[in-house]
Structure 1
Amino acid sequence: MKFGAQKGSSASAKEAPPVLTRHSSGFDQFCSLLQSSENLSILDMAGASQANISFITGFGHRISSDDIVGTMLDCFGEDFLDSQQAASKAQRFLDQSLTFPDQFFDGALVWDALQFLTPPLLEQTAAQLLRVMRPGGSLLAFFNSDEKATRIPVYNYRVQDNKTLLQVPRAGVSYQRAQYFNNRSLEKLFQNAASMKFFLTRDHLREVIVRR
């Protein structure tokens, strides 16, 4: 895992990133879980969204929302990476995120939230994710795969259909400093999971499905 340049070295945090339409093989694979099972409990970590709620409940499943990036903004302020080094702020984040019982969800849409966390908070949050997942459950996550990137945009993810996502710029925070993730670092992060599957993409987001 590598970190981008120091703050202030790239795009302005006030410059709004563009709205993007994303064709996601990882989400398409996740949807196969939704289509082949009944009465699942799904966690959406992009916060409450009518588009996402309607899509998940349309399959007959239940959905819960946990706006983990919003929690980062509340706990860390405008610079997520720097502020995580303060033990009190890191503990506040852990206390406020993923406050669900053990083995509560069958699936989780993590989106790109984990790419804004640094060790040891990153590993602690990944462990919490696996804790709230039922055995056999799957989570979908995206990670920056551009080693040269210094800053990356912060998006909310809105479901359009089984293969298409709308990436909407996040209100209150536009960009964060980048971390680079390769397959090996992600395999280490989720070393306690049953399996992982990576998906080829044409952009700089690495898609992965982790099976509990």
Structure 2
Amino acid sequence: MLRSFFQKGQGEGRHSGPRVPRHSSGWSTLLKHLKTESALKVLDIGPTSSTNINFLTGMGHGVWMADVVDESSRKEWELPPVEEGGQPGFNTDTFFEQNLNFSGREFDVVMLWTTLDYIPDALTAPLIDRLHKSLKPGGKVLALFHSKSVGPDTAFCRYHLTPTDAIEAQESGTYPIRRVYTNRNIEKLFAAYSNYRFFLAKDNVYEVIITR
């Protein structure tokens, strides 16, 4: 379900575990953009975070949130495979209508985080296309990707914003990583977008800012 927030003190999602700070060059770059622009529309994809709501609305921006990973994990969206033994399909039309119905709204910023690592394959390309159609020209997407599917730093996390060049990762579910993307994979997925900027990290997560 898409939720909108325009003032502090609204909403909180499910979280577990401590918040672990990590340096984020992608967030540092995006933060500069948020500071220089006013009244932006920001789509933050993940469990509801009152920290993010308060931070962004405090800067004068509007915030919308959608918990795509949790919602897409439900069996109700699965469709029978087209061929026997094939992969199940995904009811994208109904999913988008119930969870990502933007009502013609266009966003300036999308915080996609690690969403693409955890959602069903059949939802990946349609989601990227929907975001492209819902971003203003020049709009930016901050996406994070795991370089490994198992091991340290692979748990699904909610990322909380800070006024520094760090974000706080907090484990928020037991969803498995479904795939690992290469830079080339990412460029193909976002082929309709105009620009990509990759940031390397010391942990098993790297970052990309994609421009519409």
TMscore range, shorter length: 0.7 to 0.9
Which AA in structure 2 matches 1:156?
R
The Cα of 1:197 is off from its aligned counterpart by 0.5
The residue aligned with 1:70 is 70
Structure 1's 177 and 108: CA in aligned 2 closer, same or farther, altered over 3 A?
Answer: closer
- Determine if contact 2:90/2:123 at 8 Å carries over to the other structure: no
CA–CA distance in structure 1, aligned partners of residues 21 and 191 of structure 2? 31
The residue aligned with 1:139 is 141
CA–CA distance in structure 2, aligned partners of residues 149 and 88 of structure 1? 25
The residue aligned with 1:167 is 169
Matched, 1:210 2:207: no
Q: TM-score, normalised by structure 2?
A: 0.78
Which AA in structure 1 matches 2:49?
S
The residue aligned with 1:189 is 189
- What does residue range 1-212 of structure 1 map to in structure 2 within 5 Å? 19-75=19-75, 85-87=87-89, 89=91, 92-102=94-104, 104-146=106-148, 149=150, 152-170=154-172, 173-212=173-212
The residue aligned with 1:6 is none
CA–CA distance in structure 1, aligned partners of residues 121 and 155 of structure 2? 20
- Determine if contact 2:119/2:178 at 8 Å carries over to the other structure: no
Instruction: Summarize deviations over 1:126-158 as a string: whole Å, max 9, x none.
Output: 111111111111010111112x63793111111
- What are structure 1's unaligned runs of at least 5 residues? 1-15, 78-84
CA–CA distance in structure 2, aligned partners of residues 121 and 38 of structure 1? 32
Q: TM-score, normalised by structure 1?
A: 0.78
- Determine if contact 2:120/2:178 at 8 Å carries over to the other structure: no
Which AA in structure 2 matches 1:167?
A
The Cα of 1:57 is off from its aligned counterpart by 1.3
- Determine if contact 1:155/1:169 at 8 Å carries over to the other structure: yes
Which AA in structure 2 matches 1:145?
S
Which AA in structure 1 matches 2:150?
A
- What are structure 2's unaligned runs of at least 5 residues? 1-15, 78-86
The Cα of 1:47 is off from its aligned counterpart by 3.1
Identical residues among aligned pairs (%): 29
CA–CA distance in structure 2, aligned partners of residues 180 and 99 of structure 1? 28
Structure 1's 167 and 63: CA in aligned 2 closer, same or farther, altered over 3 A?
Answer: same
CA–CA distance in structure 1, aligned partners of residues 105 and 188 of structure 2? 22
The residue matched to 2:193 in structure 1 has which SS? coil
Which AA in structure 2 matches 1:36?
T
After TM superposition, the structure 1 stretch with the greater mean CA deviation from structure 2, 30-39 or 183-192, is: 30-39
**How many matched pairs?**
188
- Determine if contact 1:39/1:60 at 8 Å carries over to the other structure: yes
Structure 1's 63 and 40: CA in aligned 2 closer, same or farther, altered over 3 A?
Answer: same
Which AA in structure 2 matches 1:52?
N
